């Protein structure tokens, strides 16, 4: 059993080592930029917060994926997972009128935000990557 576990861990380590920037380098594509964040709505406001976030996502150049999900363990929490073609595209999106409006609408019903996590997506179902 220990040998199987070591083999599995070695495989995971090899996959992690070969992914990320190394994968982007072999395909010639620049690395994507990802964010995973958790927001908590004020009591009873999660659905309203979700509606605001989903309404403000159209027309964001460089956005490859934007997923808003309910946290099944916390009735006030939501998770946002984003994939962008670059960090610059994400930064530029923050100046878009639709995004600024969504932020302004969400602020009064937002109870808190956990620190987000930056990721380097390397691919996945539904992601269109350029090579």
17 with 79, same domain? no
Contact at 8 Å (CB) between 106 and 52? yes
Which two three-digit tokens encode residue 116? 């987000």
With respect to residue 50, please indicate whether it lies within any of the assigned structural domains: yes
pLDDT of 16 > 70? The answer is: no
CATH number at residue 113: 3.30.70.100
60 with 100, same domain? yes
Q: How confident is the model at residue 24 (pLDDT cuts 50, 70, 90)?
A: very low
pTM: 0.74
- Domain interval for residue 5: 1-27
pLDDT digits (tens, 9 = 90+) for 83-114: 999 999 999 999 999 999 999 999 999 999 99
With respect to residue 43, please indicate whether it lies within any of the assigned structural domains: yes
39 with 16, same domain? no
99 with 58, same domain? yes
49 with 110, same domain? yes
With respect to residue 126, please indicate whether it lies within any of the assigned structural domains: no
Place of tokens 């992914």: 19
Q: How many domains does one find in the chain?
A: 2
Q: How confident is the model at residue 131 (pLDDT cuts 50, 70, 90)?
A: low
19 with 50, same domain? no
Q: Supply the DSSP string of 57-114, one letter for each residue.
A: TTT-TTEEEEEEEE-TT-TTEEEEEEEES-HHHHHHHTTSHHHHHHHHHHGGGEEEEP
């Amino acid at each position: 059993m220990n040998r199987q576990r070591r083999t599995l861990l070695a495989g995971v380590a090899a996959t992690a080592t070969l992914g990320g920037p190394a994968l982007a380098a072999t395909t010639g594509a620049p690395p994507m930029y990802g964010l995973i964040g958790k927001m908590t709505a004020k009591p009873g406001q999660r659905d309203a917060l979700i509606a605001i976030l989903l309404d403000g996502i159209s027309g964001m150049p460089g956005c490859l994926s934007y997923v808003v999900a309910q946290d099944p363990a916390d009735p006030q929490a939501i998770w946002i997972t984003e994939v962008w073609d670059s960090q610059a595209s994400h930064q530029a999106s923050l100046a878009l009128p639709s995004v600024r409006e969504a932020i302004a609408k969400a602020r009064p019903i937002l109870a808190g935000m956990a620190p987000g996590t930056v990721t380097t997506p390397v691919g996945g179902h539904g992601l269109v990557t350029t090579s």
